[in-house]
Structure 1
Amino acid sequence: MLIIDTLDITPELLGLVAEIDEFKGAWKALGTLAPERLSALRRIASIESIGSSTRIEGSRLSDSEVERLLANLSIRSFATRDEQEVAGYAQTMEQIFQSWEYIPLTENHIRQLHRDVLRHSDKDERHRGNYKSSPNNVAAFDENGQQIGIVFETAAPFDTPRLMRELVEWTNAALETRSLHPLLVMGIFTVTFLAIHPFQDGNGRLSRILTSLLLLRSGYAYAPYSSLESVIENSKEGYYLALRQTQATIRTDAPDWKPWLLFFLRALHQQMKRLEKKVEREHLVLAALPELSLRILEHAREHGRVTLKEMVILTGASRNTLKDHFRKLVEIRHLTMQGQGRGVWYRIG
């Protein structure tokens, strides 16, 4: 069972929790953007999250390549392992965003989500959705791909079902009784899940999917609009160091949760601050827009699209003046240009 008695709640931990919760409470006021702007923020965050989470595990696809792949997800045929991993992560993350209310934290759902994350991965077909059957210790490799040592010994396959059952039971009980703050519970769940490493592959990606699920189920409704995965990718050395420092003590009588919880809460705090800045910028940009630009946006919202010709007729403004307004709205990502030549039209975001 998890030993939480040794958890040292420092002033920094308390301060990070307080700021994140303050933003959580203010999100309804901060999130008063038009639905299409919120959709645009979520789309950008999703691309960043999918790209970052798969790159942490070795994928080489850039965000622009991820965006192109997402535009063609319906093809259901992916040429490389990187594409398979991106497609699986994207579809599972969208499933979480759409249906989190109906996905409680259970072992069955964890296995189902693992199956979903790896749904397109040919290499993982035999074991996806099943706990590991052979050891999967975290190893270090040299530049030639030769193993040079074990970084961390994960749980034995024999112990994995029991440890996962205990972890899920503890997490649900702690969240229900609020014996610990939900953010601390999520942090402890994540580092323990990764210490168990319950599946043969895909544990890192699944841990980030489960973090999003727990955030949404605990009322952190802003989570889809800012990428936590991107924050982690930009702090990858700190991520692995914090994991190793806590995981080295996790099976002792005095686990040191502090290194990981500090990293985890700092990452959540940075995710929050990024979104706070984006929302403030959206409000400032909208407040500073000229009347003619606002009229263009209003028409696009009402009709789903807008053309230069329509706005010439509606406003009486010159084509050159309107072209300038359209160009600036595209630059600040309030409009996206579609089509070519005389068939050009614009949509929101």
Structure 2
Amino acid sequence: MRSFADLDRCIGRVPGSIVTTLRTVDVGRGSEALYRDQLPGLLNQLANRARVASITSSSAIEGIVVSDTARADRILAGRVTNLRNRSEQELAGYRDAQDYLFQGDWRPLNPGLLLHLHKLLFAHTAGQGGQFKIEDNLVVDRGATGEMTIGFRPVRAADTPFFVAELIDRYLAEIAAERHHPVLLVGLFALDLLVIHPFEDGNGRVARALTNALLMDAGYSVSRYVSLEQQIAQSADAYYQALLDSTHDWHDGQADPWPWLSYFVDVLASAYRIFAERAASDRADGSKQNRVRDYVLNHAAPRFRVSDIRTALPGISDPTIRVVLDRLRREGAIASEGLGRAAAWRRTSS
């Protein structure tokens, strides 16, 4: 809410580097309709993989990991009813919250939506899902030697409902006014929501899931095909540092939003570049078998799995991949290690 109180002062002068990155984002946005028309099969596959990556990555950022990947896949597919521990319960909760948003009928944006997402997040967990915090909280950092320091002080519990409602009202008004770039507005919304820290637990996951929905609502749908959460998980230190740098003096309305917005826009631009690369790969000349062969011999790690090829070459079916692997094995170019779907492969020639 504080960032929106004087928006012209806050983001009225956009740094040149961010202007350049926003151009990359807008070019990527312009290509989305073309890909939807020409590559619907690829986009369906990308969407399925991005869903899994987003749920697992956003959970992993908070230390929620289901180490049995096959069981995690079954949980995400909704085929597990007996959730064994809190990690499995919270993984299923984030699945439900994200799927609710991705269905596209979550509007309008209001405090009730945030409470509903939080309720879904903890629907499988005994706790306080679906209500704002009732006690003041602190965000703390743990140093390498275990010492605890205060990262920032969120809004008081008593003030939380007001700040959440005010943030939403100001955000919607600025989106409607169209005076500032919508990606910057979404980024500021996420920043303010995280500083308000409206819940006892689950603030980061609610904010990241809602960020995806707000970007799509503004016409930037890349998060449906490339997981932003996965990129955040891979740069977690930079993510937390950018947030911390933009929280100083937030309560006084003097925070510098650009460390966070620079990180946020970079993540979005990177997602669009990945999206374009995967789309171009699917449209490239040459048979799909030749592309698998080229990847295995020239680009894959010396030891790899089918899942690595699947990730690198979306749009190519597992049967096609296995045909190529079998041919390369007969040629002596690769050798298998293990049996079945979990088998690994290694190159025997360079």
TM-score where L is the length of structure 2: 0.77
Whether contact under 8 Å (2:74, 2:80) holds in the other structure is no
Q: Distance in 2 between matches of 1:134 and 1:233?
A: 29
- 1:330 Cα deviation after fit: 10
* 1:314-329 paired onto structure 2 within 5 Å: 327-328=323-324
Cα 1:33/1:45, change in 2 over 3 Å: farther
Contact 2:289 2:324 in 1 (8 A): no
Is residue 59–residue 91 contact of structure 2 (8 Å, CA) maintained in 1?
A: yes
Structure 2 unaligned spans of 5+ = 291-318, 328-339, 341-350
Shift of 1:93: 1.1
Instruction: Give me the CA root mean square deviation.
Output: 2.8
The aligned residue for residue 134 of structure 1 is: 135
Mapped contact 1:47–1:63 kept (Cα < 8 A): no
Change (3 A) 1:33 1:85: farther
Partner of 1:12: 17
**Equivalence for 1:164:** 164
The 5 Å alignment of 1:52-71 reads 52-61=57-66, 64-65=69-70, 66-71=72-77
2:31 aligned residue: 26
* Aligned mate of 1:114, from 99, 114, 118: 118
Counterpart AA for 1:138 = V
Matched, 1:204 2:199: no
How many residues get paired? 296
- CA pair 280-183 structure 1, distance change in 2 beyond 3 A: same
1:178-225 CA-to-partner distances (Å, cap 9, x unmatched) read: 121110100110010000000111000000111011011111233211
C-alpha distance in structure 2 between counterparts of 1:195 and 1:152, whole Å: 8
Aligned counterparts, 1:133-152, within 5 A: 133-141=134-142, 148-152=148-152
The superposition leaves residues 280-313 of structure 1 with CA deviations (integer Å, 9 ceiling, x where unpaired) of 112227x53479xxxxxxxxxxxxxxxxxxxxxx
Q: Deviations over 1:84-128 (max 9, x none)?
A: 11111112212211124x422111111111111221122x2xx21
Q: Which structure has the larger Rg?
A: 1
CA deviation map 1:208-252 (0-9, x unaligned) = 111011011111233211000011001111111111111112122
The correspondence of residues 1-349 of structure 1 with structure 2, limited to 5 A, is 1=2, 2-4=5-7, 5-7=9-11, 8-61=13-66, 64-65=69-70, 66-71=72-77, 73-100=78-105, 102-122=106-126, 124=127, 127-141=128-142, 148-284=148-284, 287-289=286-288, 327-328=323-324
SS in 2 for 1:251: helix
Q: Do the aligned partners of residues 84 and 160 (structure 1) sit closer, same or farther apart at CA in structure 2, a change above 3 Å counting? A: same
Give CA deviations for 1:308-330 in whole Å, capped at 9, x if unaligned: xxxxxxxxxxxxxxx98862399
The whole-number CA distance in structure 2 between the counterparts of 1:159 and 1:325 is 56
CA distance in 2, matches of 1:272, 1:211: 16
Change in Cα spacing, 1:57 to 1:161, as seen in structure 2 (3 Å) is same
Instruction: State whether residues 111 and 130 of structure 1, in contact with CA within 8 Å, keep that contact through their aligned partners in structure 2.
Output: yes
Amino acid at match of 1:183: V
* CA–CA distance in structure 1, aligned partners of residues 321 and 200 of structure 2: 54
Identity across matched positions, percent: 29
Residues 46-70 of structure 1, C-alpha deviation per residue, up to 9 Å, x if partnerless? 1111111001011123593532432
Q: 1:253 to 1:158 in 2, by over 3 A?
A: same
In the TM superposition, what is the alpha-carbon distance from 1:150 to its structure 2 partner? 1.8
Number of the residue aligned with 2:302 = none
Q: Which residue pairs with 1:347 in the alignment?
A: none
- State the partner residue of 2:303: none
What secondary structure, in the 3-state scheme, does the structure 2 residue paired with 1:16 have? helix
One-letter code aligned to 2:75: L
1:6-31 CA distances to partner (integer Å, 9 max, x unpaired)? Answer: 32301111111121111111112133
How far, CA to CA, are the matches of 1:188 and 1:63 in structure 2? 36
C-alpha spacing 1:11/1:143, structure 2 compared with 1 (3 Å): closer
Residue in 2 that maps onto 1:334: none
* CA distances 1:125-170 after superposition (whole Å, capped 9, x unpaired): xx211110012211234689x7723221111101111111110001
SS of 2:10's equivalent in the other structure is coil
Kindly provide the amino acid, as one letter, of the partner of residue 3 in structure 1.
Answer: D
SS in 2 for 1:150: strand
- The 2-side partners of 1:324 and 1:60 are apart by 31
Q: 1:270 to 1:61 in 2, by over 3 A?
A: farther
Mind listing any 5+ residue stretches in structure 1 that lack a counterpart?
292-322, 332-340, 342-349
1:290–1:176 Cα change, 3 Å = same
Indicate conservation of the 8 Å contact 1:50/1:90, yes or no. yes
